[in-house]
Amino acid sequence: AMNRVQLLGRVGQDPVMRQVDGKNPVTIFSLATNEMWRTGESEVAQGGDIIVTLLFLCTLGDISQKTTWHRISVFRPGLRDVTYQYVKKGSRIYVEGKIDYGEYTDKNNVRRQATTIIA
């Protein structure tokens, strides 16, 4: 069994550090990834050299793009602190971790799903 996620994208806002119910602190931020494809083709151009991919797509026709936002949580003490100190809004970073499908109760006492990448 394997649960492994690799993301390369831009940070949406400065990370925040939260502490809940006396548990260890966690650093949280959002990360945007972009997928690009030529209009009329379903195949997505991912990975590899982004510039080469863009040049290749430009020669083929119109480009469509989709942005996906990911919630990143950093629990590991050293990594958590470094992330909070040095990662800023707009930073382009590589994140490796696992996907976690959690549940939480919001302020209206409604059970909600929360998908998080544990970095």
Render pLDDT for 100-119 as a digit per residue (tens, 0 to 9).
998 888 889 999 888 999 99
Encoded tokens for 92: 């382009």
Angle at 32 between CA 102 and CA 21, to 5 degrees: 35
Tokens of 115: 């998908």
Tokens standing for 35? 């997928």
Distance CA 62, CA 46 (A): 16
Q: Coil, strand, or helix at residue 39? A: coil
Q: What is the pLDDT of residue 53?
A: 54
11-57: pLDDT as tens digits: 999 999 999 788 899 999 999 999 877 665 545 445 444 555 555 55
- What pLDDT is attached to residue 57? 56
List of long-range contacts for 77-81, beta carbons under 8 Å, 24+ apart: 77/24, 79/119, 80/17, 80/25, 80/26, 80/27, 81/27
Q: Name all domains of the chain by residue range, CATH numbers in brackets.
A: 5-35+66-118 (2.40.50.140)
pLDDT tens for each residue of 60-73: 567 778 899 999 99
pLDDT of residue 82: 96
Q: Which residue has the tokens 């260890």?
A: 24
pLDDT, mean of residues 86-90: 97
